[in-house]
């Protein structure tokens, strides 16, 4: 029997280890490597060229969405299955747009996860059905890339001037972007806009 070689990327050591241990029990799945962040995942995939990479979304330095995009360019033969705690419609859309072949929640039963690896490896797309339905009704992310960038920097409450210095814009332009975000999210203020965008997986 030919084994499906996988790499697992997750910044939580316990989760990484648990996924590796569970999937290693399958006769047809071989854990070729594990990564603690997106950048390491891209490096490992380039080095090992596995069949499938299990990718978390929220990781330091390089998140799973951008890592998926880079990984697909570096190793087109490697399929990506996003496995995340943050099962949100916005993340699903972003992951599929980045080239992921599947999207599952981490609390899925072990046999479902192993089956998803096999299906993704065989060329199929695997998406949590409830999340796919929610995504259809939720609509696309209304925020532009620049608005998402500015809002991510506003998460910790930093001033418009501080954000402006990081993105090489004027403070007035940053305030305009934040006003647009507040309007698009239907929020009352910047802090609420951040919460809404995070809940929907838009940032």
Using one digit for the tens of pLDDT, what is the confidence trace for 189-198?
A: 888 998 888 8
Region for 157 from its dihedrals, namely left if φ exceeds 0, alpha if ψ lies in -120 to 50, beta otherwise = left
Reference 33, options 25, 85, 43, 67; nearest CA is 43
Task: Give the C-alpha separation, 129 to 162, whole Å.
Answer: 41
| pLDDT at residue 1 greater than cutoff 70 | no
166 forms bridges with which residues in the sheet?
none
pLDDT at residue 136 in the model: 53
Task: Determine whether 65 is exposed, middle or buried from the number of CB atoms within 10 Å of its CB (0-12, 13-18, 19+).
Answer: buried
- In which band, very low, low, confident or very high, does the pLDDT at 55 lie, cut at 50, 70 and 90? very high
Task: Give the C-alpha separation, 195 to 201, whole Å.
Answer: 10
- In which band, very low, low, confident or very high, does the pLDDT at 135 lie, cut at 50, 70 and 90? low
pLDDT at residue 199 in the model: 78
Share of the chain above pLDDT 90, in %: 56
- Tokens 């500015």, located at residue: 150
| pLDDT at residue 133 greater than cutoff 60 | no
pLDDT at residue 101 in the model: 95
Under 8 Å between Cβ of 103 and 127: yes
pLDDT at residue 61 in the model: 81
| pLDDT at residue 154 greater than cutoff 80 | yes
pLDDT tens string 159-189: 999 999 989 999 999 999 999 989 888 888 8
Radius of gyration for the chain, computed over Cα atoms and rounded to the nearest angstrom: 18
- In which band, very low, low, confident or very high, does the pLDDT at 8 lie, cut at 50, 70 and 90? very high
- In which band, very low, low, confident or very high, does the pLDDT at 94 lie, cut at 50, 70 and 90? confident
- Tokens 């360019």, located at residue: 73
Average pLDDT, the chain: 88
Task: Give the C-alpha separation, 53 to 79, whole Å.
Answer: 6
Domain borders along the chain are 4-137, 145-199
| pLDDT at residue 145 greater than cutoff 90 | no
Looking at the domain that runs over 4-137, which CATH code has it been given?
3.40.50.2300
Q: Which CATH architecture has domain 145-199?
A: Orthogonal Bundle (1.10)
* Better pLDDT: 197 or 41: 41
- Residue 137 makes CB contacts below 8 A (sequence gap 6+) with none
CB atoms within 10 A of CB 51: 20
Please give the average per-residue pLDDT across 38-64, as a whole number.
93
């Amino acid at each position: 029997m030919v084994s499906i070689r996988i790499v697992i990327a997750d910044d939580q050591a316990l989760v990484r280890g648990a996924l590796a241990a569970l999937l290693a029990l399958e006769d047809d799945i071989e854990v070729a490597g594990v990564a603690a962040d997106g950048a390491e995942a891209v490096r490992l995939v380039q080095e090992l060229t596995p069949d499938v990479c299990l990718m978390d979304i929220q990781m330091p330095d390089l998140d799973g969405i951008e890592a998926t995009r880079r990984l697909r360019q570096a190793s087109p033969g490697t399929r990506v299955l996003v496995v995340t705690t943050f099962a949100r419609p916005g993340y699903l859309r972003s992951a599929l747009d980045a080239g992921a072949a599947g999207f599952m929640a981490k609390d899925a039963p072990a046999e479902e996860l192993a089956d998803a690896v096999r299906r993704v490896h065989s060329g199929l797309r695997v998406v949590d059905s409830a999340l796919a339905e929610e995504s259809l009704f939720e609509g696309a992310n209304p925020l532009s890339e620049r608005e998402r960038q500015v809002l991510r920097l506003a998460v910790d409450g930093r001033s418009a001037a501080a954000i402006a210095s990081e993105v090489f814009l004027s403070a007035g332009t940053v305030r305009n972007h934040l006003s647009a975000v507040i309007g698009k999210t239907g929020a009352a203020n910047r802090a609420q806009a951040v919460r809404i965008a995070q809940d929907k997986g838009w940032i």
